[in-house]
Structure 1
Amino acid sequence: MYPRANTLGLMIKDNCILLEEFEGKHSKGTGLYYRPIGGTIELGERSDVALIREYSEELGVDISINRYMSCIENIFKIDESVGHEITQIYLVDFKDTNLYEKDLFTVTEGNRVSYAMWIEKEDIITGKKILYPDGLTELLRRGFA
């Protein structure tokens, strides 16, 4: 198996970040965890273009890329399975500024439906809420977003 190339977009409002909520097994245990919106970069697709596509597919919204932030390499293990992601991270903005007033977003990916919500940055930095991929919390702690 090879590393997976993906892209994630950090959407910021005040001191909050728009994050998708998941529940289940993860590399730090079992329970709730969070991840920015994004997904796999397809062969021949630029990471910024993939991110715009992912926001459109998953949330049904248009975004603009504010700036490139970083690349995070995340190698993790859940049970006996090893995962390896190389993730391009961008700071993004809603094109429709009225969307910043919404508290909850429905995330649709194939047959899976989940929700994204504004999570306090402090809850992530202090470890109150678990954020993936590994390395993203440190990026936030250093003030990159």
Structure 2
Amino acid sequence: MSKFGKIRVLALGLIRDGERIFVYEGYESVKQETYYRALGGGVDFGETSQAALQREFQEEIQAELTNIKYLGSIENIFTFNDQQGHEIIQTYECDFVDSKFYQLESLIFSESKNHQHKALWVDIAEFKSGKLRLVPGEFLTYL
């Protein structure tokens, strides 16, 4: 979540397995708060958002996606570590090609040399009840 001062275009994939979704866990140090977000990443110039989604999953966790279906767009204006951010998120519903991802409890992946994230399956009820924070909150409308 860097590149403040610009509007970022992202492609994120909501992957469901029954009553749980696959998300990564992040931490906001200023608010001292853990949050969860769907995996995906930035759309490069000249790249479609669906191609970006597939590339990001391949780069981050070496996963291929199938049954990719466009859900909609979310405009997200937020504050993260005391800096304003602005994103246009192209949201997709999709599935993993390899069933091994559904057996995982969690996995660690690196976005860059300094940024490691934990991806895991979380029960949707944890987000709907407000016990855990899914960002952006509009994702809840797709669950």
Letter in 2 for 1:117: L
SS for the counterpart of 1:131 is: coil
Report the equivalent of 1:13. Answer: 17
Letter in 2 for 1:103: E
Aligned residues: 138
The separation in 1 between residues aligned to 2:67 and 2:55, in whole angstroms, is 12
Pairwise CA distance, 1:30: 2.0
SS for the counterpart of 1:135 is: helix
Aligned runs of 1:105-124 on 2, under 5 Å?
A: 105-111=107-113, 112-124=115-127
Pairwise CA distance, 1:103: 1.1
Q: Does 2:12 align with 1:4?
A: no
CA 1:127–1:45 in 2, change beyond 3 Å: closer, same or farther? same
Q: Extract structure 1 runs of 4+ deviating beyond 4 A.
A: none
C-alpha RMSD of matched pairs (Å): 1.5
SS for the counterpart of 2:100 is: helix
Match of 2:133 among 106, 127, 130: 130
CA 1:56–1:32 in 2, change beyond 3 Å: closer, same or farther? same
Pairwise CA distance, 1:71: 0.5
Q: TM-score, normalised by structure 2?
A: 0.89
**Contact 2:28 2:80 survives alignment (8 Å):** no
Letter in 2 for 1:55: F
**Contact 1:57 1:108 survives alignment (8 Å):** no
The separation in 1 between residues aligned to 2:82 and 2:116, in whole angstroms, is 26
Match of 1:64 among 63, 66, 90: 66
The separation in 2 between residues aligned to 1:34 and 1:77, in whole angstroms, is 15
Pairwise CA distance, 1:16: 0.3
**Contact 1:65 1:90 survives alignment (8 Å):** no
Q: Does 2:95 align with 1:93?
A: yes
The separation in 2 between residues aligned to 1:120 and 1:63, in whole angstroms, is 21
Identity of aligned residues (%): 31
